[in-house]
Amino acid sequence: MPLFDKTIDTISKSLDLHLQRHAIIADNIANAETPFFKARRVDFESELQRAVDESVVIPGMNDVQSVEGRISQEPFSEVGQDLNTVDMDREMAAMNKNDVKYSANSQALSRKFLLLKYAIGEGER
C-alpha cells in the first residue's frame, strides 16, 4: 500500500526522472568538446502517462514508481568535424525546458503537502 496518494507518487516520480534528465543534459554539455561524444536524451513522459492511466483503469495498480527513464542517443544531432553530436543551443533549450517542468512539479508537490497539512490541522480542532 502506498504511503501517499497517486498524485504525490506520480509527482515524486516525475521529479526523480527530471533530475535524471538534468544529469544527462549536464553530461552532454560537459562533453561538448569531446571528440566522438554522442549526445543523449532521457524519455519518460509517455511511459509515466501509461502507468498513471493504467492505475486509473485498474484501481490498486500503481506501478508509477517502476517507471524508468529511457536513455537514447540524440536522433536529430548533426555530427561536427570532431564527430561530436552535442548542439549547445539545443542542450541549453532542453535544460531550460526541463528546469521549468521540474519547478512546476516541485510547486505542485509543495501545494499538495500544504493541503495535507491543512487537513491534518483542521482535524485537530
What are the tens digits of pLDDT across the range 42-75? Answer: 999 999 999 888 876 665 555 888 899 999 997 6
- Amino acid, single-letter form, for residue 122: E
Share of the chain above pLDDT 70, in %: 84
Please state, in angstroms and rounded to a whole number, the distance separating the CA atoms of residues 10 and 89.
Answer: 30
Instruction: Identify the bridge partners of residue 42 per DSSP, sorted by sequence position.
Output: 71
Contact 88, 29 (CB under 8 A): yes
pLDDT of residue 1: 41
Grid cell of 64 as nine digits: 508509477
3-state DSSP call for residue 124?
A: coil
Sequence ranges of the domains in the chain? 6-123
pLDDT at residue 5 tops 80? no
Mean pLDDT in residue range 63-91 = 84
Instruction: Identify the bridge partners of residue 99 per DSSP, sorted by sequence position.
Output: none
pLDDT at residue 2 tops 60? no
- Interacting residues of 118 by C-beta distance below 8 A, sequence separation 6+: none
Contact 6, 55 (CB under 8 A): yes
